[in-house]
Amino acid sequence: MFPSALDDTHAFDIAQALVEGFNRHYRLFRQTSAEAKQRFEAADWHGQQRAQRERIEYYDRRVAEAVERLESEFGASRLSTGVWQQIKLHYIGLLTDHMQPELAETFFNSVTTKILHRSYFRNDILFVRPALSTEYIENLEPAEQPTYRSYYPTRSTLRETVRQIVEHFGLTLPFVDLDNDVSHILEAVLERLGDGRLKTNFQIQVLSSLFYRNKGAYLVGKIVNGFVETPFALPILHNRNNQLYIDAALFGVDDMLLLFSFARAYFMVDMAIPSATVQFLRSLMPRKPKAELYNALGLQKHGKNLFYRDFQYHLRHSTDKFRIAPGIKGMVMLVFDLPSFPFVFKVIKDFYPPQKDTTRELIQSKYLLVKQHDRVGRMADTLEYSNVAFPRARFEDELVAELKHFCPSVLEEDGDSLIIRHLYIERRMVPLNIYLQDARPDQMEHAVLEYGNAIKDLVAANIFPGDMLWKNFGVTRHGKVVFYDYDEIEYITDCNFRRVPAPRNEEDEMSGEIWYAVGPKDVFPETFGPFLLGHPGVREIFMKYHADLLDVDFWQSHKDRIGGGHVHDVFPYEQRRRFRHRVGQPFSSVDEPLPVLPPGAVDNGYNPL
Ligand SMILES: Nc1ncnc2c1ncn2[C@@H]1O[C@H](COP(=O)(O)OP(=O)(O)OP(=O)(O)O)[C@@H](O)[C@H]1O
């Protein structure tokens, strides 16, 4: 029951301290995000990568500071339920006119769950459900930009308007030839519009901040014409002389989904009202859960909170059982899923076979590395959770037996619940080994080509996957191949790429064993073939496109380039979509059939709120 009077003398001050903690967090988060513009203009790519990495750590630091303050100033862990209820009410009051109330609620949860026992995780004490609305929030400060701007061109003013839209961002670097870029964009827009008349509501809406990631800045918006809304994004890049150009025009939901994929690094966006940006983005990608949009904007703790709410909701509205994930079982991870829900749950085992010389800490550090690294569309993002309570009745017995056997240290039974103390959650894909088993020849060709491309993208981003077996890659809904087994990854720059030494004598030659000394970071690309290319059909395709992956020079030359300070270009769209490669190509990807996946590849009906 809620208190009828707010009579505790400290509750208001505690709520105030929590709001201050959150405000400090968002101020620093926003500042780093806004400064992406200057880093982009200065072509400070290493700085951009560093900021992307560091920004991820901000949240936990601010939460730790707030926990510490609440403990030292208010003895927070000794407060009664009644006081916590009052703190929540004051907090809601303090957020009445806040611009980021949903994030502040999540911050409240993050701090209080560090202080309180699990039995307090109830909606009268923390925000199991949101209390404040994020609709219609407007910032009327004169210095603030609106979330998006609307432009109302006619056919005859379209060219001028497109130019204005780009110029509105006030980038300080010159464009190589903005007129030429605008002509390309115009051509693309007119192709989308066809010959039909522009309807009376014809307009172009554009988000007020550019989206920065790696070496690119993306202008994001939509064209509204009658009842049809077409999302678009324009990537702005640097040439060698630090002049700018627009590289492509991306149109339609599929292009947007690839741009905002879970396998890419988070964007840097200057947002006063993140919920308004998310609402706009959701109108571009209606099926993408809000949780993933918050993640893509770097607000991953709120994304995690929303995901958890979606997951709880899904659990209540489904009846199927958690099971061991299909595919070859992991040696270090126990992986399970719920068939009706398109994610997998990964728990680190307590012990591993001898060939896996690793520890829980090392594995966690590799997963963290992936979170902080540029995932270049080739590594799945993971959400890390502590103390997740699952209903025991929804687990298959075989899965419970495996958990008890392999993961006893992280498992706790509490009444009808199974508590898993630590786990990762990531998007479910079709494991590539399973995909290849069922693949038609054209699908096999596509998958093997993609597999090699995935490795090459990882290499360019300074990642050596370690274990490149097919089972460690998955195929997404869009037919992209993505890596998901992180326990053996290393930086390319830390690896020694070596040729297999010539045998010293006949004995060496005949030996079935490795007779030469191998250091912990030594890699022998010539030896990949026998592990990866047992299937003759796969081998043929692989050798056609990716024979260079078996050559030590390929790896060494990338290592040298990265060591020399080169930062790779990452394109979240295909090369042929670039204006420079566009001779005779249609602009849109809409008519391109997506690779047809085998039946298991289709995500089943997860319907986030
Ligand atoms: N995102 C995913 N989508 C679908 N299946 C997955 C996913 N992640 C893992 N799996 C399944 O779980 C298995 C084990 O996962 P993972 O490779 O991460 O574990 P591991 O213990 O690190 O493996 P290894 O023994 O190769 O080191 C995979 O082979 C695959 O079948």
Instruction: Give the ipTM.
Output: 0.90
- The conformation of residue 261, written as its DSSP 8-state character, comes to -
- Ligand 1 center from residue 369 Cα (angstroms): 18
- Ligand 1 center from residue 411 Cα (angstroms): 20
Is residue 124 flagged as an active site residue? Answer: no
In 21-157, at which residue ranges do the beta strands (DSSP E only) sit? 148-151
Say what the alpha-carbon torsion angle 415, 417, 423, 424 is, to the nearest 10 degrees. -170
Residue at 377: amino acid letter: G
What are all long-range contacts of 56-60, with beta carbons under 8 Å and residues at least 24 apart?
56/266, 56/298, 56/300, 56/371, 56/372, 58/25, 58/28, 58/29, 58/32, 59/25, 59/29, 59/110, 59/300, 59/301
Q: Which pLDDT belongs to residue 26?
A: 98
Q: What is the pTM of this model?
A: 0.91
- Ligand 1 center from residue 330 Cα (angstroms): 5
Q: Which pLDDT belongs to residue 355?
A: 85
Atom of ligand 1 nearest to the CA of 426: 1
Q: Which pLDDT belongs to residue 290?
A: 96
Q: Which residue, judged by its Cα, is nearest atom 8 of ligand 1?
A: 484
Residue at 459: amino acid letter: V
What three-state secondary structure class fits 176?
A: coil
Contact 337, 428 (CB under 8 A): yes
What three-state secondary structure class fits 265?
A: coil
Q: Which residue, judged by its Cα, is nearest atom 2 of ligand 1?
A: 428
Pocket test for ligand 1, best of 261, 322, 333, 358 (most atoms within 8 A of CB): 333
- Phi, psi at 270, each rounded to 5°: -85, 105
- Distance between CA atoms of 601 and 342, rounded to whole angstroms? 10
Residue at 396: amino acid letter: E
Domain 148-298, second-level architecture:
Roll (3.10)
Atom of ligand 1 nearest to the CA of 330: 21
What three-state secondary structure class fits 371?
A: helix
Question: What is the per-residue DSSP string for 293-329?
Answer: HHHHTT-HHHHHHHHHHHHHHHHHT----BEEPSSSP
CA nearest to 62, candidates 17, 109, 115, 24: 24
Pocket test for ligand 1, best of 472, 480, 488 (most atoms within 8 A of CB): 472
b or e along 534-570 (b: 16 or more beta carbons within 10 Å of the residue's beta carbon)?
eeeebeebbeebbeebbeeebbbebbebbeeeebbeb
Is 330 a known ligand-binding residue?
yes
Q: Which residue, judged by its Cα, is nearest atom 26 of ligand 1?
A: 330
First-to-final CA distance of the chain: 28
- Ligand 1 center from residue 359 Cα (angstroms): 17
**Residue 459 to residues 52, 432, 531, 567, Cα–Cα distance (Å):** 19, 19, 19, 12
Ligand 1 binding pocket (C-beta < 6 A) is 325, 327-328, 330-333, 335, 344, 346, 380, 426-429, 431, 467, 471-472, 474, 484-485, 487
In 239-374, at which residue ranges do the beta strands (DSSP E only) sit? 244-246, 250-251, 323-324, 333-338, 341-348
β-bridge pairing 203-207 and 522-523:
unpaired
Q: Which residue, judged by its Cα, is nearest atom 14 of ligand 1?
A: 330
Atom of ligand 1 nearest to the CA of 486: 22
What three-state secondary structure class fits 226?
A: coil
Q: Domain spans of the chain?
A: 11-120, 148-298, 314-428, 432-570
pLDDT tens for 253-266 read 999 999 999 889 89
Is 331 a known ligand-binding residue?
yes
β-bridge pairing 522-523 and 496-497:
parallel
Is 431 a known ligand-binding residue?
no
Which residue reads 């986030």 in tokens? 608
- Phi, psi at 310, each rounded to 5°: -60, -40
Enumerate the β-bridge partners of residue 384: 424
Which residue reads 């994304």 in tokens? 303
Q: Which residue, judged by its Cα, is nearest atom 1 of ligand 1?
A: 428
- Distance between CA atoms of 386 and 76, rounded to whole angstroms? 21
Contact 584, 187 (CB under 8 A): no
Is 565 a known ligand-binding residue?
no
- Ligand 1 center from residue 261 Cα (angstroms): 20
Atom of ligand 1 nearest to the CA of 427: 1
Residue 174: exposed, middle, or buried by beta-carbon count in 10 A (0-12, 13-18, 19+)? exposed
Q: Which pLDDT belongs to residue 507?
A: 80
Is 429 a known ligand-binding residue?
no
What three-state secondary structure class fits 20?
A: helix
- The conformation of residue 474, written as its DSSP 8-state character, comes to E
- Ligand 1 center from residue 245 Cα (angstroms): 41
- Distance between CA atoms of 451 and 445, rounded to whole angstroms? 10
- Distance between CA atoms of 304 and 472, rounded to whole angstroms? 24
Q: Which residue, judged by its Cα, is nearest atom 7 of ligand 1?
A: 428
Cα 197–203–209 angle (5° rounding)?
A: 150
Question: What is the per-residue DSSP string for 476-541?
Answer: -TTS-EEE---TT-EEGGG-EE-PPPPPSSHHHHH-SS--S---TTEE-GGGHHHHH--SHHHHHH
- The conformation of residue 379, written as its DSSP 8-state character, comes to B
Catalytic hit among 247, 374, 381, 457 = 381
Question: Along the chain (609 residues), what's the average pLDDT of each consecutive run of 10 residues?
Answer: 85 98 98 98 95 94 98 95 95 97 98 90 92 93 90 95 97 96 94 85 97 96 95 96 96 94 93 97 96 96 96 97 95 97 97 90 95 91 93 98 97 95 96 93 95 95 93 92 95 95 81 82 92 90 95 96 90 90 53 38 38
Atom of ligand 1 nearest to the CA of 335: 12
Atom of ligand 1 nearest to the CA of 349: 21
- Distance between CA atoms of 275 and 289, rounded to whole angstroms? 13
Cα 55–61–66 angle (5° rounding)?
A: 135
Question: Cβ atoms within 10 A of the Cβ of 383, count?
Answer: 21
- Ligand 1 center from residue 328 Cα (angstroms): 7
Pocket test for ligand 1, best of 471, 477, 486 (most atoms within 8 A of CB): 471
- Phi, psi at 414, each rounded to 5°: -135, 95
Q: Which pLDDT belongs to residue 599?
A: 36
Which residue reads 């060219």 in tokens? 159
**Residue 567 to residues 296, 463, 551, Cα–Cα distance (Å):** 21, 13, 22
Is 329 a known ligand-binding residue?
yes
- Ligand 1 center from residue 373 Cα (angstroms): 20
